[in-house]
Protein backbone atom coordinates (compact mmCIF):
# COMPACT_ATOMS: atom_id res chain seq x y z
CA UNK A 1 0.00 0.00 0.00
CA UNK A 2 1.14 3.54 -0.77
CA UNK A 3 0.10 5.87 2.06
CA UNK A 4 0.02 9.50 0.91
CA UNK A 5 -0.35 12.37 3.38
CA UNK A 6 0.67 16.01 3.70
CA UNK A 7 2.81 15.28 6.77
CA UNK A 8 4.93 12.21 7.30
CA UNK A 9 5.96 9.87 10.12
CA UNK A 10 6.60 11.57 13.44
CA UNK A 11 5.54 15.02 12.24
CA UNK A 12 3.08 17.25 14.08
CA UNK A 13 -0.62 16.82 13.30
CA UNK A 14 -3.38 14.43 14.28
CA UNK A 15 -3.38 12.44 11.03
CA UNK A 16 0.36 11.84 11.04
CA UNK A 17 0.37 10.92 14.73
CA UNK A 18 -2.48 8.45 14.30
CA UNK A 19 -0.87 6.76 11.30
CA UNK A 20 2.46 6.60 13.10
CA UNK A 21 0.88 4.46 15.84
CA UNK A 22 0.01 1.73 13.32
CA UNK A 23 3.10 2.18 11.17
CA UNK A 24 4.99 -0.53 13.02
CA UNK A 25 2.37 -3.07 11.98
CA UNK A 26 2.25 -2.22 8.28
CA UNK A 27 5.57 -0.50 7.48
CA UNK A 28 7.03 -3.54 5.74
CA UNK A 29 4.04 -3.67 3.41
CA UNK A 30 3.63 0.04 2.73
CA UNK A 31 5.38 3.15 1.49
CA UNK A 32 4.55 6.48 3.15
CA UNK A 33 4.71 9.43 0.74
CA UNK A 34 4.67 12.92 2.24
CA UNK A 35 6.05 16.44 2.09
CA UNK A 36 9.01 17.40 4.28
CA UNK A 37 9.55 21.16 4.02
CA UNK A 38 9.68 21.55 0.23
CA UNK A 39 10.71 17.99 -0.63
CA UNK A 40 8.68 14.91 -1.52
CA UNK A 41 9.87 11.97 0.54
CA UNK A 42 8.93 8.32 0.94
CA UNK A 43 9.44 6.36 4.16
CA UNK A 44 9.78 2.61 4.49
CA UNK A 45 10.21 0.45 7.59
CA UNK A 46 9.81 1.09 11.29
CA UNK A 47 13.05 3.08 11.31
CA UNK A 48 11.57 5.51 8.75
CA UNK A 49 14.19 4.75 6.12
CA UNK A 50 13.55 7.81 3.96
CA UNK A 51 14.32 8.64 0.35
CA UNK A 52 13.95 12.13 -1.11
CA UNK A 53 12.58 12.88 -4.55
CA UNK A 54 11.09 16.00 -6.13
CA UNK A 55 11.46 19.54 -4.75
CA UNK A 56 8.52 21.96 -4.88
CA UNK A 57 8.87 25.70 -5.20
CA UNK A 58 8.16 27.80 -2.12
CA UNK A 59 5.49 29.71 -4.04
CA UNK A 60 3.67 26.49 -4.93
CA UNK A 61 3.79 25.25 -1.33
CA UNK A 62 2.57 28.60 0.00
CA UNK A 63 -0.27 28.83 -2.53
CA UNK A 64 -1.44 25.32 -1.63
CA UNK A 65 -1.08 26.01 2.10
CA UNK A 66 -3.04 29.26 1.87
CA UNK A 67 -5.87 27.66 -0.12
CA UNK A 68 -6.14 24.83 2.42
CA UNK A 69 -6.25 27.18 5.39
CA UNK A 70 -7.85 30.36 4.08
CA UNK A 71 -10.57 28.63 2.05
CA UNK A 72 -11.04 24.88 2.47
CA UNK A 73 -10.66 24.73 6.27
CA UNK A 74 -13.40 27.28 7.13
CA UNK A 75 -15.78 26.14 4.39
CA UNK A 76 -15.54 22.50 5.43
CA UNK A 77 -16.17 23.44 9.07
CA UNK A 78 -19.37 25.34 8.17
CA UNK A 79 -17.69 28.64 9.02
CA UNK A 80 -17.67 30.39 5.61
CA UNK A 81 -17.45 33.80 7.29
CA UNK A 82 -13.75 33.08 7.82
CA UNK A 83 -13.16 31.98 4.21
CA UNK A 84 -11.15 33.90 1.63
CA UNK A 85 -11.18 32.58 -1.93
CA UNK A 86 -8.43 33.42 -4.40
CA UNK A 87 -8.26 31.91 -7.86
CA UNK A 88 -4.47 31.77 -7.88
CA UNK A 89 -4.48 29.80 -4.62
CA UNK A 90 -6.94 27.30 -6.08
CA UNK A 91 -4.66 26.88 -9.09
CA UNK A 92 -1.70 26.31 -6.77
CA UNK A 93 -3.72 23.69 -4.87
CA UNK A 94 -4.40 21.83 -8.12
CA UNK A 95 -0.78 22.09 -9.29
CA UNK A 96 0.47 20.86 -5.92
CA UNK A 97 -1.75 17.77 -6.17
CA UNK A 98 -0.73 17.32 -9.79
CA UNK A 99 3.01 17.54 -9.11
CA UNK A 100 2.75 15.18 -6.16
CA UNK A 101 0.76 12.61 -8.13
CA UNK A 102 3.30 12.75 -10.98
CA UNK A 103 6.22 12.41 -8.58
CA UNK A 104 4.66 9.37 -6.95
CA UNK A 105 3.05 7.77 -9.99
CA UNK A 106 6.14 7.92 -12.18
CA UNK A 107 8.52 6.71 -9.51
CA UNK A 108 9.45 3.02 -9.46
CA UNK A 109 9.18 3.06 -5.65
CA UNK A 110 5.39 3.43 -5.91
CA UNK A 111 5.11 0.37 -8.15
CA UNK A 112 5.86 -1.94 -5.24
CA UNK A 113 2.22 -1.56 -4.20
CA UNK A 114 -0.79 -1.04 -6.45
CA UNK A 115 -3.05 0.62 -3.89
CA UNK A 116 -3.03 4.25 -2.73
CA UNK A 117 -4.41 5.35 0.65
CA UNK A 118 -4.70 9.16 0.45
CA UNK A 119 -5.11 11.25 3.59
CA UNK A 120 -7.28 14.31 4.10
CA UNK A 121 -8.27 17.59 2.50
CA UNK A 122 -4.81 18.73 1.38
CA UNK A 123 -4.73 16.00 -1.29
CA UNK A 124 -8.34 15.72 -2.45
CA UNK A 125 -7.54 15.91 -6.19
CA UNK A 126 -4.98 13.11 -6.11
CA UNK A 127 -7.36 10.15 -6.74
CA UNK A 128 -8.51 11.81 -9.97
CA UNK A 129 -4.97 12.62 -11.06
CA UNK A 130 -3.66 9.15 -10.23
CA UNK A 131 -6.52 7.64 -12.23
CA UNK A 132 -5.53 9.70 -15.26
CA UNK A 133 -2.05 8.25 -14.95
CA UNK A 134 -3.47 4.73 -15.05
CA UNK A 135 -3.24 4.23 -11.28
CA UNK A 136 -6.92 3.96 -10.35
CA UNK A 137 -6.69 1.95 -7.14
CA UNK A 138 -7.15 4.47 -4.34
CA UNK A 139 -9.15 5.35 -1.25
CA UNK A 140 -9.31 8.62 0.64
CA UNK A 141 -9.96 9.30 4.30
CA UNK A 142 -11.41 12.77 4.91
CA UNK A 143 -10.47 13.65 8.50
CA UNK A 144 -12.42 16.92 8.77
CA UNK A 145 -16.19 17.54 8.46
CA UNK A 146 -18.01 17.89 5.18
CA UNK A 147 -20.23 20.99 5.46
CA UNK A 148 -23.97 20.94 5.94
CA UNK A 149 -24.32 23.82 3.49
CA UNK A 150 -22.09 25.37 0.84
CA UNK A 151 -22.59 28.96 -0.26
CA UNK A 152 -23.42 29.51 -3.92
CA UNK A 153 -20.20 31.43 -4.56
CA UNK A 154 -18.22 28.47 -3.21
CA UNK A 155 -19.92 25.73 -5.25
CA UNK A 156 -17.47 25.54 -8.15
CA UNK A 157 -14.28 25.01 -6.10
CA UNK A 158 -15.98 22.61 -3.70
CA UNK A 159 -17.40 20.66 -6.65
CA UNK A 160 -13.83 20.27 -7.89
CA UNK A 161 -12.87 18.79 -4.52
CA UNK A 162 -15.85 16.40 -4.59
CA UNK A 163 -14.97 15.18 -8.08
CA UNK A 164 -11.43 14.52 -6.99
CA UNK A 165 -12.67 12.35 -4.12
CA UNK A 166 -15.16 10.49 -6.31
CA UNK A 167 -12.36 9.17 -8.52
CA UNK A 168 -11.43 6.84 -5.64
CA UNK A 169 -12.98 3.50 -4.75
CA UNK A 170 -13.85 4.59 -1.21
CA UNK A 171 -14.12 7.84 0.73
CA UNK A 172 -14.01 7.59 4.51
CA UNK A 173 -15.53 9.91 7.11
CA UNK A 174 -15.49 9.84 10.90
CA UNK A 175 -19.27 10.06 11.35
CA UNK A 176 -22.45 9.34 9.42
CA UNK A 177 -23.41 13.00 9.20
CA UNK A 178 -20.31 13.95 7.20
CA UNK A 179 -20.83 11.10 4.75
CA UNK A 180 -24.47 12.07 4.26
CA UNK A 181 -23.53 15.73 3.86
CA UNK A 182 -21.08 14.73 1.14
CA UNK A 183 -23.61 12.60 -0.72
CA UNK A 184 -26.21 15.37 -0.43
CA UNK A 185 -23.75 17.79 -2.03
CA UNK A 186 -23.06 15.33 -4.84
CA UNK A 187 -26.77 14.70 -5.42
CA UNK A 188 -27.59 18.40 -5.51
CA UNK A 189 -24.62 19.87 -7.36
CA UNK A 190 -22.99 17.13 -9.46
CA UNK A 191 -25.63 16.01 -11.98
CA UNK A 192 -23.18 13.66 -13.69
CA UNK A 193 -23.40 11.40 -10.62
CA UNK A 194 -26.17 9.25 -9.20
CA UNK A 195 -26.38 8.80 -5.43
CA UNK A 196 -27.81 5.95 -3.37
CA UNK A 197 -28.22 7.01 0.26
CA UNK A 198 -29.25 3.53 1.36
CA UNK A 199 -26.00 1.92 0.21
CA UNK A 200 -23.99 5.15 0.72
CA UNK A 201 -22.60 5.09 -2.82
CA UNK A 202 -22.16 7.46 -5.74
CA UNK A 203 -21.52 6.49 -9.34
CA UNK A 204 -21.46 8.19 -12.74
CA UNK A 205 -24.91 8.74 -14.20
CA UNK A 206 -25.89 6.86 -17.33
CA UNK A 207 -27.40 10.00 -18.83
CA UNK A 208 -24.70 11.34 -21.16
CA UNK A 209 -26.53 14.66 -21.47
CA UNK A 210 -26.12 15.22 -17.74
CA UNK A 211 -22.36 14.84 -18.15
CA UNK A 212 -22.29 17.43 -20.92
CA UNK A 213 -24.42 19.82 -18.88
CA UNK A 214 -22.11 19.35 -15.92
CA UNK A 215 -19.06 20.23 -17.98
CA UNK A 216 -20.63 23.60 -18.81
CA UNK A 217 -22.18 24.28 -15.40
CA UNK A 218 -19.36 23.26 -13.11
CA UNK A 219 -16.20 23.63 -15.13
CA UNK A 220 -15.30 20.00 -15.69
CA UNK A 221 -12.33 19.70 -18.01
CA UNK A 222 -13.08 17.63 -21.15
CA UNK A 223 -10.32 15.16 -20.35
CA UNK A 224 -11.82 14.63 -16.89
CA UNK A 225 -14.98 13.22 -18.45
CA UNK A 226 -12.97 10.45 -20.09
CA UNK A 227 -11.50 9.52 -16.71
CA UNK A 228 -14.83 8.81 -15.02
CA UNK A 229 -15.07 5.21 -14.01
CA UNK A 230 -18.06 2.91 -14.08
CA UNK A 231 -17.64 1.48 -10.59
CA UNK A 232 -19.38 3.16 -7.65
CA UNK A 233 -17.53 5.06 -4.96
CA UNK A 234 -18.34 3.67 -1.52
CA UNK A 235 -18.75 6.05 1.41
CA UNK A 236 -17.33 4.43 4.54
CA UNK A 237 -18.06 5.65 8.08
CA UNK A 238 -15.15 4.70 10.33
CA UNK A 239 -14.33 6.98 13.27
CA UNK A 240 -10.63 7.10 14.09
CA UNK A 241 -9.78 4.96 17.10
CA UNK A 242 -7.16 5.18 19.82
CA UNK A 243 -4.49 2.88 21.26
CA UNK A 244 -6.11 2.73 24.71
CA UNK A 245 -3.47 0.60 26.42
CA UNK A 246 -0.67 2.84 25.19
CA UNK A 247 -2.22 5.96 26.76
CA UNK A 248 -3.31 4.19 29.92
CA UNK A 249 0.14 2.75 30.56
CA UNK A 250 1.78 6.14 30.00
CA UNK A 251 -0.59 7.83 32.44
CA UNK A 252 0.15 5.27 35.15
CA UNK A 253 3.92 5.44 34.73
CA UNK A 254 4.39 9.21 34.18
CA UNK A 255 6.14 11.23 36.88
CA UNK A 256 4.37 14.22 38.41
CA UNK A 257 7.49 16.28 39.05
CA UNK A 258 7.05 18.41 35.90
CA UNK A 259 3.55 19.67 36.77
CA UNK A 260 3.33 23.49 36.73
CA UNK A 261 2.76 24.87 40.28
CA UNK A 262 -0.63 26.41 39.50
CA UNK A 263 -1.86 23.01 38.35
CA UNK A 264 -1.36 21.58 41.82
CA UNK A 265 -4.82 23.01 42.47
CA UNK A 266 -7.87 21.17 41.07
CA UNK A 267 -8.09 22.13 37.41
CA UNK A 268 -10.40 22.01 34.40
CA UNK A 269 -8.31 21.02 31.38
CA UNK A 270 -8.39 21.73 27.63
CA UNK A 271 -5.96 20.88 24.85
CA UNK A 272 -6.23 22.42 21.42
CA UNK A 273 -4.89 25.08 19.08
CA UNK A 274 -5.96 28.72 18.89
CA UNK A 275 -8.22 27.83 15.98
CA UNK A 276 -11.66 29.41 15.57
CA UNK A 277 -13.16 25.94 15.07
CA UNK A 278 -12.09 24.94 18.61
CA UNK A 279 -14.23 27.47 20.48
CA UNK A 280 -11.36 28.95 22.50
CA UNK A 281 -12.93 32.44 22.64
CA UNK A 282 -16.22 31.00 23.91
CA UNK A 283 -14.30 29.00 26.52
CA UNK A 284 -12.58 32.13 27.83
CA UNK A 285 -15.94 33.89 28.08
CA UNK A 286 -17.31 30.82 29.85
CA UNK A 287 -14.51 30.96 32.44
CA UNK A 288 -15.46 34.55 33.18
CA UNK A 289 -19.12 33.52 33.52
CA UNK A 290 -18.13 30.61 35.76
CA UNK A 291 -16.35 32.72 38.36
CA UNK A 292 -19.18 35.27 38.23
CA UNK A 293 -21.88 32.66 38.89
CA UNK A 294 -19.88 30.38 41.19
CA UNK A 295 -17.73 32.59 43.44
CA UNK A 296 -17.01 29.71 45.83
CA UNK A 297 -14.41 28.41 43.33
CA UNK A 298 -12.36 31.61 43.22
CA UNK A 299 -8.86 30.87 44.46
CA UNK A 300 -9.59 27.14 44.67
CA UNK A 301 -9.79 26.05 41.02
CA UNK A 302 -7.78 26.77 37.87
CA UNK A 303 -8.75 26.49 34.23
CA UNK A 304 -5.67 25.10 32.48
CA UNK A 305 -5.38 25.05 28.72
CA UNK A 306 -2.60 23.94 26.42
CA UNK A 307 -3.25 26.19 23.46
CA UNK A 308 -0.58 27.24 21.01
CA UNK A 309 -0.72 29.61 18.11
CA UNK A 310 -1.55 28.00 14.78
CA UNK A 311 -1.13 28.93 11.11
CA UNK A 312 0.70 32.23 11.68
CA UNK A 313 0.48 34.50 8.66
CA UNK A 314 -3.12 33.50 7.88
CA UNK A 315 -5.16 36.60 8.75
CA UNK A 316 -8.21 34.83 10.16
CA UNK A 317 -6.06 32.76 12.54
CA UNK A 318 -3.86 35.71 13.51
CA UNK A 319 -6.94 37.79 14.31
CA UNK A 320 -8.42 34.96 16.34
CA UNK A 321 -5.19 34.56 18.31
CA UNK A 322 -5.25 38.27 19.14
CA UNK A 323 -8.90 38.09 20.17
CA UNK A 324 -8.25 35.14 22.50
CA UNK A 325 -5.18 36.72 24.08
CA UNK A 326 -7.16 39.90 24.73
CA UNK A 327 -9.97 37.90 26.35
CA UNK A 328 -7.46 36.05 28.52
CA UNK A 329 -5.87 39.32 29.66
CA UNK A 330 -9.28 40.73 30.57
CA UNK A 331 -10.14 37.55 32.45
CA UNK A 332 -6.94 37.66 34.51
CA UNK A 333 -7.30 41.40 35.21
CA UNK A 334 -10.78 40.84 36.55
CA UNK A 335 -10.25 37.79 38.76
CA UNK A 336 -6.58 37.33 39.61
CA UNK A 337 -5.25 37.78 43.15
CA UNK A 338 -1.62 37.96 44.31
CA UNK A 339 -1.67 34.19 44.93
CA UNK A 340 -4.03 32.89 42.26
CA UNK A 341 -4.98 33.23 38.60
CA UNK A 342 -8.19 31.86 37.07
CA UNK A 343 -6.42 30.72 33.89
CA UNK A 344 -3.17 28.90 33.32
CA UNK A 345 -2.48 29.21 29.58
CA UNK A 346 0.35 27.00 28.33
CA UNK A 347 1.55 27.74 24.80
CA UNK A 348 4.37 25.19 24.62
CA UNK A 349 3.70 21.53 23.92
CA UNK A 350 4.22 18.49 26.14
CA UNK A 351 5.29 14.96 25.42
CA UNK A 352 2.56 12.35 25.16
CA UNK A 353 3.68 10.92 28.51
CA UNK A 354 3.42 14.29 30.25
CA UNK A 355 0.11 14.99 28.57
CA UNK A 356 -1.33 11.68 29.76
CA UNK A 357 -0.60 12.64 33.37
CA UNK A 358 -2.21 16.06 32.92
CA UNK A 359 -5.28 14.27 31.55
CA UNK A 360 -5.35 11.84 34.44
CA UNK A 361 -5.19 14.52 37.15
CA UNK A 362 -7.79 16.87 35.63
CA UNK A 363 -11.09 17.17 37.47
CA UNK A 364 -12.88 17.91 34.19
CA UNK A 365 -11.89 17.80 30.54
CA UNK A 366 -13.50 20.66 28.63
CA UNK A 367 -13.81 19.99 24.89
CA UNK A 368 -15.97 22.71 23.33
CA UNK A 369 -15.32 23.06 19.58
CA UNK A 370 -17.89 24.83 17.45
CA UNK A 371 -17.11 22.26 14.73
CA UNK A 372 -14.58 19.43 14.80
CA UNK A 373 -13.95 16.43 12.57
CA UNK A 374 -13.44 14.09 15.52
CA UNK A 375 -11.28 15.35 18.44
CA UNK A 376 -8.85 12.76 19.72
CA UNK A 377 -8.06 14.71 22.91
CA UNK A 378 -11.41 13.58 24.34
CA UNK A 379 -10.41 9.95 23.76
CA UNK A 380 -6.90 10.49 25.11
CA UNK A 381 -8.40 11.94 28.28
CA UNK A 382 -10.62 8.88 28.73
CA UNK A 383 -7.78 6.43 28.12
CA UNK A 384 -5.59 8.19 30.71
CA UNK A 385 -8.00 7.91 33.65
CA UNK A 386 -7.11 6.22 36.94
CA UNK A 387 -8.98 5.18 40.09
CA UNK A 388 -10.53 8.60 40.66
CA UNK A 389 -11.88 9.49 37.23
CA UNK A 390 -12.73 12.94 36.01
CA UNK A 391 -15.65 14.10 33.87
CA UNK A 392 -15.73 14.71 30.11
CA UNK A 393 -17.66 17.84 29.07
CA UNK A 394 -18.07 17.57 25.31
CA UNK A 395 -19.57 19.67 22.51
CA UNK A 396 -22.18 18.07 20.28
CA UNK A 397 -20.27 19.57 17.33
CA UNK A 398 -17.25 17.34 17.92
CA UNK A 399 -17.29 14.22 15.77
CA UNK A 400 -16.41 12.22 18.89
CA UNK A 401 -19.83 13.12 20.33
CA UNK A 402 -21.40 10.38 18.19
CA UNK A 403 -19.36 7.78 20.11
CA UNK A 404 -19.08 9.42 23.53
CA UNK A 405 -22.11 11.67 23.91
CA UNK A 406 -24.24 9.26 25.95
CA UNK A 407 -21.83 9.36 28.90
CA UNK A 408 -20.35 12.85 28.52
CA UNK A 409 -21.86 16.11 29.72
CA UNK A 410 -23.27 18.02 26.77
CA UNK A 411 -21.90 21.45 25.89
CA UNK A 412 -23.57 24.10 23.74
CA UNK A 413 -20.29 25.43 22.34
CA UNK A 414 -21.39 28.99 21.58
CA UNK A 415 -23.16 29.56 24.92
CA UNK A 416 -20.67 30.64 27.63
CA UNK A 417 -23.31 30.64 30.36
CA UNK A 418 -24.28 27.05 29.57
CA UNK A 419 -20.64 25.97 29.46
CA UNK A 420 -20.10 27.53 32.90
CA UNK A 421 -23.09 25.61 34.27
CA UNK A 422 -21.84 22.34 32.79
CA UNK A 423 -18.43 22.81 34.40
CA UNK A 424 -20.11 23.49 37.76
CA UNK A 425 -22.22 20.35 37.33
CA UNK A 426 -19.11 18.29 36.59
CA UNK A 427 -17.37 19.55 39.73
CA UNK A 428 -20.40 18.78 41.89
CA UNK A 429 -20.95 15.32 40.45
CA UNK A 430 -20.93 12.41 42.90
CA UNK A 431 -18.09 9.92 42.80
CA UNK A 432 -20.52 7.18 41.86
CA UNK A 433 -21.84 9.07 38.84
CA UNK A 434 -18.32 10.00 37.79
CA UNK A 435 -17.28 6.35 37.92
CA UNK A 436 -20.39 5.20 36.05
CA UNK A 437 -19.99 7.74 33.26
CA UNK A 438 -16.26 7.12 32.88
CA UNK A 439 -16.76 3.36 32.80
CA UNK A 440 -19.14 3.78 29.86
CA UNK A 441 -16.71 6.14 28.09
CA UNK A 442 -13.82 3.73 28.58
CA UNK A 443 -15.87 0.92 27.10
CA UNK A 444 -16.65 3.05 24.03
CA UNK A 445 -12.99 3.91 23.46
CA UNK A 446 -11.86 0.32 24.05
CA UNK A 447 -14.44 -0.96 21.57
CA UNK A 448 -13.03 1.20 18.79
CA UNK A 449 -9.24 0.74 18.86
CA UNK A 450 -6.98 2.34 16.28
CA UNK A 451 -6.35 -1.01 14.63
CA UNK A 452 -10.08 -1.48 14.03
CA UNK A 453 -10.23 1.83 12.13
CA UNK A 454 -7.29 0.70 10.02
CA UNK A 455 -8.92 -2.63 9.28
CA UNK A 456 -12.37 -1.13 8.61
CA UNK A 457 -11.14 1.41 6.13
CA UNK A 458 -7.61 1.13 4.80
CA UNK A 459 -7.23 -2.64 4.76
CA UNK A 460 -10.83 -3.38 3.82
CA UNK A 461 -10.83 -0.83 0.99
CA UNK A 462 -7.64 -2.30 -0.40
CA UNK A 463 -8.96 -5.85 -0.18
CA UNK A 464 -12.20 -4.85 -1.89
CA UNK A 465 -10.28 -3.22 -4.71
CA UNK A 466 -8.09 -6.28 -5.25
CA UNK A 467 -11.24 -8.41 -5.35
CA UNK A 468 -12.76 -6.05 -7.92
CA UNK A 469 -9.61 -6.31 -10.04
CA UNK A 470 -9.79 -10.11 -9.94
CA UNK A 471 -13.46 -10.01 -10.95
CA UNK A 472 -12.71 -7.65 -13.85
CA UNK A 473 -9.86 -9.85 -15.02
CA UNK A 474 -12.06 -12.95 -14.90
CA UNK A 475 -14.85 -11.19 -16.82
CA UNK A 476 -12.36 -10.11 -19.49
CA UNK A 477 -11.13 -13.68 -19.92
CA UNK A 478 -14.69 -15.01 -20.21
CA UNK A 479 -15.66 -12.42 -22.79
**Do residues 7 and 111 both lie within one domain?**
yes
Q: Closest Cα partner for 268 from 247, 285, 252, 283?
A: 283
**Do residues 248 and 283 both lie within one domain?**
yes
**Do residues 45 and 170 both lie within one domain?**
yes
**Do residues 209 and 220 both lie within one domain?**
yes
Where residue 317 sits, what CATH number does that domain have? Answer: 3.40.50.2000
**Do residues 216 and 263 both lie within one domain?**
no
> For residue 471, what pLDDT is reported?
43
**Do residues 217 and 266 both lie within one domain?**
no
**Do residues 107 and 250 both lie within one domain?**
no
3-state helix, strand, coil in the chain (%, to 5): 55, 15, 30
**Do residues 299 and 395 both lie within one domain?**
yes
> For residue 49, what pLDDT is reported?
63
> For residue 228, what pLDDT is reported?
43
Q: What is the value of pTM for the model shown?
A: 0.89
Spatial strand order of the sheet with 364-367 comes to: 343-346, 302-308, 267-273, 364-367, 391-395, 409-411
Residue ranges making up the domain that contains 105: 2-241+451-478
- The sign of the dihedral angle between the CA atoms of 167, 33, 141, 121 is negative
Q: Closest Cα partner for 135 from 158, 161, 157, 102?
A: 102
**Do residues 236 and 250 both lie within one domain?**
no
Q: Are 82 and 108 in contact (CB under 8 A)?
A: no
> For residue 359, what pLDDT is reported?
96
Own/partner contacts of 455-460, CB < 8 Å, gap of 24 or more, are 456/236, 456/238, 457/139, 457/141, 457/170, 457/172, 457/236, 457/238, 458/1, 458/117, 458/139, 458/141, 460/236
Q: Closest Cα partner for 368 from 346, 400, 340?
A: 400
DSSP state, residue 455: I
**Do residues 157 and 261 both lie within one domain?**
no
> For residue 130, what pLDDT is reported?
92
**Do residues 22 and 114 both lie within one domain?**
yes
> For residue 126, what pLDDT is reported?
96
> For residue 212, what pLDDT is reported?
45
Domain count, the chain: 2
**Do residues 429 and 459 both lie within one domain?**
no
DSSP for 274-307 reads S-GGGTHHHHHHHHHHHHHH-GGGTTT-EEEEEE
For each successive 10 residues of the chain (479 residues), what is the average pLDDT?
84 68 72 88 72 88 98 98 98 97 83 83 96 88 97 98 96 97 98 96 73 47 44 92 93 78 86 97 98 98 96 97 98 96 93 92 97 96 96 98 97 98 98 98 95 78 49 45
Amino acid sequence: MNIVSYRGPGMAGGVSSALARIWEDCSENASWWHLNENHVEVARGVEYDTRRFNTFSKDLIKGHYDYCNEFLWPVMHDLPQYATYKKEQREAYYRFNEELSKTIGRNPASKSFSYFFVQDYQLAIMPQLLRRMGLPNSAVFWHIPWPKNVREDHLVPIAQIARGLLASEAVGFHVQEYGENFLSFVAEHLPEYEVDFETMTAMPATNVLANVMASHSYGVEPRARTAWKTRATQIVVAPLGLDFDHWNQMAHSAKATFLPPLMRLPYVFSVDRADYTKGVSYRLKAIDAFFTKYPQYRGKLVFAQICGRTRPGIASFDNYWTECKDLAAQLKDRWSTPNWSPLHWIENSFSAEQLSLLYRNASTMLVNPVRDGLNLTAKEYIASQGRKPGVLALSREAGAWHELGDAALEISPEDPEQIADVVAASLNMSENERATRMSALIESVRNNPLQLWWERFAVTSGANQMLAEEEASLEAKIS
